[in-house]
Amino acid sequence: MIIRKRATIFIVITFLFLLGLIYRLAEIQLIRTESFSASKVNLIEESVRQRTQVMVLDQGRGRFVDRNGKALTHDYFPSLILFPFLKHTQWPVEELASILQVPSSEIIKSIKDIKEPIVYGAPDPVALSETQMEQINKLKIPGVFAVHRQSKVEDLVAEHLIGIIRQDRDQVLKRYADKVEEGNLSVHTPIGILGLQQVFDEFLLPEGESKLMYHVDNQGGPLFGIDVKYTAPANPYYPISIQTTIDKSIQEEVEKITTDTKLKKGGVVLLDIKTNEIVAMVSSPSLNHSNPFSSEGGAHNYLLEPQIPGSVFKTIVAAAAIENNIITPNRLFNCDLDIYGQIDDHKLGQLNFEDSFAQSCNQTFASLANELVKHKPSTIEDFANKLGLIQPVGWNGDVFHFDDFNQLPVNRSGRIWEDDTDKSAERAVSQTAIGQKEVRVTPLAVANMMGTIARGGEKKQVKAVSKILYKNGSTLFTFKDQALEGEALSPYTIAKLQQLLHRVVTDPKGTGRRFQALDTEVAGKSGTAETGRENIQKEKLYNKWFAGYFPATSPKYALVVVELDVPGNQAVTNDVFYKIVDSLE
């Protein structure tokens, strides 16, 4: 009985084991072939991968181009693809060499030791003409193909704005669990993790790779003869292109200037005044692709993050004072005093309103702000909104099934007051008037303010992308110009602001007088903001700004340069602004 019982138990256990094994085999080969295990492994893909030699021509992800159609992320180059089996066959290498105008021995040498398909001439591929491509393909040599192959642009630009992609299994599952479950997306697919790559990721996702495939046995020999297959997604309109508003040539020049002048932290934003589009944007320090979110990874785009503006903010107080008619022609301000009425280290004497703005007298704007706030506590923020300074300024709207779509990865508001009780505290109002205390605005919003003034008061959202294009170049979606909501300034106030900003440069004592040496007339406002921080040498650190537009009388560009956390005597802000304007003359 005991032996029979043990035998029964053994048979049952064996049966259950075999049943489990059969189920496991069925799961692998029949049930979950395209999404196996928690890692969602596509077993069919993996099996094919082990038995094929592949040359990927296009990974399928959409790309970014500049406003003129120049590639910003990757482009398509005419390339010659050679497969390994050629070294074991007789083929007309002389005919190919004749078309390429190279010795046939060079071609034979290039494939002598290869085990995978190659791009001939890589890492510096031979540049083929369209005529050469046509001649090569007419030869119909198995294993020899002249095709347009995707290639990464060597010198990437506008990296903080464009962003980066990388493999991130957890994020793929979080964002696109349904696509993975349906087998339409692999967990290993690179996705956007920063910048416009992240914002437009769903538009850019690949529908599949375009590739040349050659099946081999476990020795690397031909499995089905020497037939090379071409596979590609069925949809001829994809992958798409995102047409940005960036001008690649200008962007490259701005990046060079920023690097050469050693602007360590901060950045530059250049807007096209007519369209309110970003023409160039540079944030420093540069981006570390391998570890962008580390303490020194450079992931911050400082142009999109609120900063302390300093005297640039006096533009708002000036606008409020003009529109509220509290400026009289003969009114003078004691600019020997600081904002608290104490003797200032930088004595400027008795100045009228216009001279006060040009020479950036703190006492004048502290006095005016207190008058304005006593009359109406919300005055300062009201006028900041009229110039689009503290509201999110990036393009926002409906795009297909995306409601409330933001073009920019960060579309943050600024702020003026953190505590409303500060409006009744004279010292707090005085500090606020000169862009200190709790005032925080993004450099992009400051550029938008300058663009608004230069356009005559017309408020617009800022665009970084103009169109989404199909693969064939036709338009899938156009981002139309959109107004910023809210009231605008009167034409009279705008005209007065234009005069004030121009005088900052033309006045012999103006804070922007250095720019008089330029061939192009500039209008703008400087700013020096105390940060309350020190470096290891115990030097006080400041935010140094210059924001303006040019040409002053017929504006084309709005430009903001800001350097953050810099000792005042080491700032290169004006150098950068000067050189950029000079380069665009």
Q: Which residues are catalytic?
A: 311
What's the CA gap between 524 and 512, in Å, rounded?
Answer: 7
Cα angle, residue 53 at apex, residues 47 and 56 outer, rounded to 5°: 100
Decide: 449 and 428 in contact? Cβ < 8 Å: no
502: phi then psi, degrees, rounded to nearest 5: -70, -40
569: phi then psi, degrees, rounded to nearest 5: -85, 0
Structure tokens at 282: 């540079």
Decide: 180 and 40 in contact? Cβ < 8 Å: yes
Q: How far is CA 347 from CA 336, 358, 365, in A?
A: 4, 14, 15
- Total residues belonging to the chain: 585
CB burial of 98-112 (b: ≥16 within 10 Å; e: otherwise) equals ebbeeeeeebeebbe
* 3-state class (DSSP) for residue 528: strand
Q: How far is CA 409 from CA 62, 213, 320, 400, in A?
A: 18, 38, 32, 18
Of the candidates 374, 328, 387, 372, the one whose C-alpha atom is nearest the C-alpha of residue 354 is 328
What's the CA gap between 555 and 454, in Å, rounded?
Answer: 6
C-beta neighbour count of 118 within 10 angstroms: 18
Cis ω for the linkage preceding 551 (within 30 of 0): yes
578: phi then psi, degrees, rounded to nearest 5: -60, -50
Decide: 461 and 454 in contact? Cβ < 8 Å: no
Query: Helix 491-506 vs helix 443-454: angle between axes, to the nearest 10 degrees?
Result: 110
Decide: 54 and 117 in contact? Cβ < 8 Å: yes
Q: How far is CA 40 from CA 22, 152, 175, 206, in A?
A: 21, 28, 15, 18
Dihedral of CA 290/292/293/298: which sign?
A: positive
Structure tokens at 246: 């960036």
Determine the distance from the C-alpha atom of residue 136 to the mean position of all C-alpha atoms in its chain, rounded to a whole number: 40
What's the 3-state SS for 168-233?
CHHHHHHHHHHHHHCCCCCCCCCEECCHHHHHCHHHHCCCCCEEEEEEECCCCCECECECCEEECC
Dihedral of CA 255/261/264/270: which sign?
A: negative
What's the CA gap between 133 and 81, in Å, rounded?
Answer: 11
Of the candidates 307, 308, 327, 303, the one whose C-alpha atom is nearest the C-alpha of residue 317 is 327
Radius of gyration of the chain (CA): 32
